[in-house]
Structure 1
């Protein structure tokens, strides 16, 4: 049995360092360019809060049955949280505002890739799958990012929460001020949801319950990842099937934890940005986007390793299975996307439809809205629809690269309109941040791949993987 170990050599490290430096340079250049958006009143939370374009209209819409956009305008005049020009482009956010939002987007995206790596690993053991035994270490290596992701996520929230989450502003909650007068900033809908964020603290103070969930999720994910990684390494060293059974039990435990935590984290970290809007399908939607991107990355790494002379046991049959997963779950993502969109479209309720209105009609986001569909459905569907395409490296590489980039665009579209409004943009700042995160993520993944055998030498399903044929 092969004992090959991935050689994370100096050449690869230099390329990743160069990519990181290029990203940092692009960020710096983006800050200096006029399009970087050095806006006014940086740090004024009332203006930053206005990025939740439909946020402040909802409290007014509960008091009036009038037109949604008229309600938004009237509320903006009265409470100061909606700044005139958010829809018209009169107020522009600063480059640093974009930096904060881009940091959050990449946090969410790369956390998802790490989790899907562990999710895929756990599924193989829980389902007693044999075909994937040769490639199982690739998704496991992706999960090494969970710890850095947790540190970055918590730090980012503590530093930038007021600029990303409208519900964190204290003046939204007391209906009456201390002198007994009515608080014109009070938002009844957000106040009604305050228990979800502030269960263990007063609304508008530090969101203990929200942060506690974040810490607990990352702690649980990292604990289960560490157990699965250690058991996999012990299986290599000791042999036998006892560790395989333990891996199955811990894999099932992770899947149960992930089933709940992935949905709640999607509500917390993404959906609550558009705090007046909600979708009962949103947890599934974020999971689908994460899953397709993660599958594409697993497939791309497998193909590149095989082309570099590793994973000689992996055949076109194994690649075909990976290609089928990428193809099928691209369609699954589209099904979830269309189901969520169609329900909101034909109901045409202002509080729901505004989410798509500000993405489909806006000059800023309408192109991205349709590019998202092209990159994540039409292109992979047409590229991988044939049997041969799923077995050829060139088609798999092209499709996977497009999907990996496309689902970053998907998260950009989920987060940016609700934070930056019409001041959102796509340019050097976004590309630079993505390069920096991507380089750091791949450095961790490659270092992990080089720390143990690419193929687990005592996996009990290796013989089944050897004779896998479809």
Structure 2
């Protein structure tokens, strides 16, 4: 089979740059509104800020939190793209060979995500994470917090940075290792690269299992420092994975509609649809298990986390999150035909990508912005900037190699895949 190369038109790249430019303009507009005391940028989150005893958040804090939110979200999608490839290798999967270059290319965002994460934490750690303040650990200070102080051996500035650097360095090394083997397989053929990739994937998955949960604790859970959930690592993984599956499926559809991936057919779409459907239910299972156990136990120090989201301006986000990420994909993708139709999959995957952004918004904003959050210019602008950068990086990565791994040993199985 001959190579199939992605050619990115200048017009497409210009659209991505335009997306970034619009995002920058919106962020600047949002900053001006906040700096001059305008309320237009507070969107839906300005209702009961007075009910929360704290000083109004500055535009700088709001910008930092939104940058952190989007970086965690898009880094997770990139990481779970690599995870998807690794799972296909260790499972000896053949159906996914024709589409494997898509999740593979997502990993190109990881170095950008790592650099931004490091800078954001060094610049804005105090604004994002309450536990970074030294007075919380000083027993002679009236602001001393015995609960947070008890977590100091894990939640401290140095160890947090070390973990972050280790996670990204190892993730990027594994990504580059898998990618290099994949491209060398195209060039040289044979099965040695395939078997080597299986061993690499197995090692990556072991590290991923530990590091992804710890990253969820560090980057998201520690925002609400007093609260914890033993299911939280699984919850963040599920949200990341559904978003990554939606991104993979949406990319396959766009490429098909633009004349690429000619050998991909309704059977491959059906399997992708089943993945999206199944892991939307898995996300809901984790969501329900975590929420119901805590809510009905009604232990104050545990239920406060959900009270901050239900008895506040975030209430609408709480229920929209459940509707968009479970009810909508569950009802739309229930039938076999729906999972094989590009228009249905396109609608659902776009909704899921927006829905799981909202999920991360709901995880982070109540603990950082309290009642001063909203979905306004800064939120939309930072998301557009990250989306534009992600798409530029992702498409550039896709164009570096053939869209079809021409010498993969299971290529024929993928071409003739039928369900």
TM-score tier, shorter chain, comes to over 0.9
Match of 2:294 among 336, 344, 350: 344
TM-score by length of 2: 0.96
Shift of 1:463: 1.0
- Asked whether the equivalents of residues 358 and 417 of structure 1 are also in contact (C-alpha less than 8 Å), the reply is yes
Task: State the distance in 2 between where 1:294 and 1:383 align.
Answer: 19
Question: Cα deviation per residue 1:384-418 (whole Å; 9 max; x = unaligned)?
Answer: 11111100000000000000011000000000100
Match of 1:317 among 261, 264, 267: 267
Question: Cα deviation per residue 1:393-444 (whole Å; 9 max; x = unaligned)?
Answer: 0000000000001100000000010001011111111000000000000100
Match of 1:190 among 141, 148, 153: 148
Q: Specify every segment of 5 or more residues in structure 1 that has no aligned partner in the other structure, as ranges.
A: 40-84, 177-182, 199-206
TM-score by length of 1: 0.86
1:228 equivalent to 2:178? Answer: yes
Task: State the distance in 2 between where 1:295 and 1:392 align.
Answer: 16
Task: State the distance in 2 between where 1:382 and 1:26 align.
Answer: 35
- Asked whether the equivalents of residues 38 and 95 of structure 1 are also in contact (C-alpha less than 8 Å), the reply is no
Task: State the distance in 2 between where 1:387 and 1:225 align.
Answer: 34
Correspondences of 1:153-302 after superposition (within 5 Å)? 153-176=117-140, 183-198=141-156, 207-302=157-252
Structure 2 CA distance for partners of 1:173 and 1:280, relative to 1, 3 Å: same
Task: State the distance in 2 between where 1:160 and 1:133 align.
Answer: 42
Structure 2 CA distance for partners of 1:467 and 1:268, relative to 1, 3 Å: same
Task: State the distance in 2 between where 1:161 and 1:91 align.
Answer: 18
Shift of 1:30: 1.2
Correspondences of 1:123-134 after superposition (within 5 Å)? 123-134=87-98
1:139 equivalent to 2:89? Answer: no
Task: State the distance in 2 between where 1:173 and 1:421 align.
Answer: 23
Task: State the distance in 2 between where 1:158 and 1:277 align.
Answer: 24
Secondary structure, counterpart of 2:343 in structure 1:
helix
- Asked whether the equivalents of residues 323 and 396 of structure 1 are also in contact (C-alpha less than 8 Å), the reply is yes
The more displaced of 105-114 and 86-95 is 86-95
Task: State the distance in 2 between where 1:375 and 1:37 align.
Answer: 33
Task: State the distance in 2 between where 1:26 and 1:210 align.
Answer: 32
Shift of 1:467: 1.5
1:433 equivalent to 2:379? Answer: no
State the number of aligned residues: 411
Secondary structure, counterpart of 2:261 in structure 1:
coil
Question: Cα deviation per residue 1:63-99 (whole Å; 9 max; x = unaligned)?
Answer: xxxxxxxxxxxxxxxxxxxxxx763477321222110
Correspondences of 1:5-84 after superposition (within 5 Å)? 5-34=5-34
Greater gyration radius: 1
Question: Cα deviation per residue 1:193-245 (whole Å; 9 max; x = unaligned)?
Answer: 000023xxxxxxxx111110000000000000010000001100010000000
**Aligned residue number for residue 370 of structure 1:** 319
Shift of 1:36: 8.3
1:149 equivalent to 2:113? Answer: yes
Q: Specify every segment of 5 or more residues in structure 2 that has no aligned partner in the other structure, as ranges.
A: 40-48
Shift of 1:117: 0.5
